[in-house]
Amino acid sequence: MSTQTVRLHRVLRAKPERVYRAFLDAEALAKWLPPNGFTGKVHALDAKVGGNYRMSFTNFTTGGGHSFGGEYLELVPNERLRYTGVFDDPNLPGTMQTTVSLREVFCGTELTVVQEGIPPMIPAEACYLGWQESLVLLAQLVEAEIRQ
């Protein structure tokens, strides 16, 4: 069974610390990771190497959804995250691996996402589209400068 890989690249107007934190803060993840038309819930998040996370996305229109979880394999503060992802649905078998690389640049953070092992029944273009929508929401979250 063949799997797929997607690669995404963005530059965000935010420090790497903010971007890194958005990947490991449960409330932040629930806000930006679900693509358009979905809500998200983080059921568990233990942000340490060997720690696990569990999430679910719900389709706002139909009420259907899917849940998934995985393990943190590598956490280099403000530079790199690597984690697995496994869907609860047996029709979406296999273990995905996502690597997020952050590099400080003069205007913020260069972000690269590589997701490998995507089940063949998920069209690669749908995965790209979902990530693109999520990264727009990530940018809106981390680029906002709100002073109290």
pLDDT tens-place string over residues 5-47: 999 999 999 999 999 999 999 999 999 999 999 999 999 999 9
Q: pTM of the full predicted structure?
A: 0.94
The residue type at 12: L
pLDDT at 1: 56
CA atoms within 13 Å, Cβ hemisphere of 106: 0
Please indicate, yes or no, if residue 106 is contained in any of the structural domains.
Answer: yes
Name the residue range of residue 122's domain.
4-140
Nearest to 68 by CA among 82, 83, 88: 88
Rounded to an integer, the average pLDDT of 60-88 is 97
Residue 148 lies in a domain: no
Q: Is residue 145 part of a domain?
A: no
Q: Is residue 146 part of a domain?
A: no
Assess if residue 116 is contained within a domain: yes
> Does 120 fall in a domain?
yes
**How many structural domains does the chain have?**
1
Question: The domain that contains 53 carries what CATH number?
Answer: 3.30.530.20
Structure tokens at 85: 């992802």
CB 29 within 8 A of CB 21: no
Residue 107 lies in a domain: yes
